[in-house]
Structure 1
Amino acid sequence: MKKLSILLILLVGLLGFPGRALAHSVWTDFQMQAEQLQLTSLFSTDEPFQGAPVRVYAPNNPNQPWLEGKTDDQGNFLFKPDPNLVGEWQVRIGDRGDHADILTVPVTEAGVQVDLISQTEHHRMHWWVRQVGVVLCAFGSGLGSAVLFRQRRWFT
């Protein structure tokens, strides 16, 4: 019984208290300031995404950045799309291999259509880690239970 108690305490200690190193996502808010679009990028922990690389792609050349820069210490980035380049602009904040956010910014002759700005669903880069983790936990729990029940001395 003593070994089982120690095992349960270890499991609760390892699984019950997740550390700060767990993955967090990036969230970007936007608003118009005069004629410029202000983007504010934060982690899910409300920390600003400081110094994040920002690439703005115009609708006429989606492969070559129209503008490149970095967010400031508060996670802010300002830019004014060229009103002559009508269409959907793409703004990439962060790196694809790391934490990132991608916004689609529609621009018409009247200017930026703030109400139609959308976030691209690319945030699936860590989904497989969770899935593999769940499968491994389930497999490990089943295997561990089978071993423990076969050796009844753990429960005596």
Structure 2
Amino acid sequence: MAIPSRFALMAATALGLALAQPMQAEAHGVESSLRYLDGQLELSSSFSTGEPVEGAVVRILKADGTPGQELGRMDAEGRLQMTLPALKDGLVDLQVDGGPGHRDYLTLPLQQGRVNLDEVVMRPGSRNALDWAMAPALVGLVGLMVKVRSPRQR
């Protein structure tokens, strides 16, 4: 097999693996949205497939990241309406916990006891960081495969 053919085959294989892996991982990701009106917070969560995250526990995280006060559970439609407890102004971290690998995190900025939705932060999971870390490794692997030649062709 000629060098250009080998390169094309290896590049297509590496690209296929790189594109297929994140899609498999995303199938279980949790996506959340918020609505806040007059002190009432409505949280909607679903898997990236569109299926509601039924029964997921919504809780406040403590400053050290450990689970804190439970605020409720998602209903069959993946929704939870609640009134936040009295909290100090600042940032409050919420976790939507559908089990290991099925979590979403939201940071709510509180000002005068109310949520400022313009400044809500949704933190990406570590999986996204891993995807970005893997990209240079895949590019390097393709480059290494291109440099390796059989002894007959030198």
The TM tier, using the shorter chain, reads: 0.5 to 0.7
State the partner residue of 2:141: 140
Rounded Cα–Cα distance in structure 2 between residues aligned with 1:115 and 1:128: 25
Rounded Cα–Cα distance in structure 2 between residues aligned with 1:133 and 1:38: 36
1:56 aligns with 2:56: no
SS of alignment partner, residue 28 of structure 1 = strand
Rounded Cα–Cα distance in structure 2 between residues aligned with 1:130 and 1:57: 26
State the partner residue of 1:8: 8
Kindly provide the amino acid, as one letter, of the partner of residue 89 in structure 2: G
Q: Quick check: 1:106–1:117 contact (8 Å CA) kept in 2?
A: no
1:31 aligns with 2:31: no
Residue of 76, 81, 105 corresponding to 1:78: 81
Offset of residue 21 of structure 1: 0.7
Unaligned runs of 5+ in 2: none
Residue of 119, 122, 125 corresponding to 2:121: 119
Offset of residue 76 of structure 1: 1.1
Offset of residue 81 of structure 1: 1.9
- Alpha-carbon displacement from aligned partner over 1:105-155 (angstroms, at most 9, x marks no partner): 5263xx63353551254x2512442244223212211221111376539xx
Query: Which runs of structure 1 show a deviation greater than 6 angstroms over 4 or more consecutive aligned residues?
Result: none
Rounded Cα–Cα distance in structure 1 between residues aligned with 2:14 and 2:78: 34
Unaligned runs of 5+ in 1: none
- Fraction of identical pairs, as percent: 18
Q: Quick check: 1:104–1:117 contact (8 Å CA) kept in 2?
A: yes
Rounded Cα–Cα distance in structure 1 between residues aligned with 2:122 and 2:71: 19
- Alpha-carbon displacement from aligned partner over 1:69-113 (angstroms, at most 9, x marks no partner): 322232211211235x453443221279633222315263xx633
Q: Which structure: larger Rg? A: 1
TM, length-normalised to structure 2: 0.64
TM, length-normalised to structure 1: 0.63
Q: Which has the higher helix share?
A: 2
Q: CA RMSD in A?
A: 3.9
State the partner residue of 1:130: 131
Structure 1 pair 150/133, CA: closer, same or farther in 2 (3 Å)?
farther
Aligned residues: 147
State the partner residue of 1:103: 107
Rounded Cα–Cα distance in structure 1 between residues aligned with 2:109 and 2:33: 12
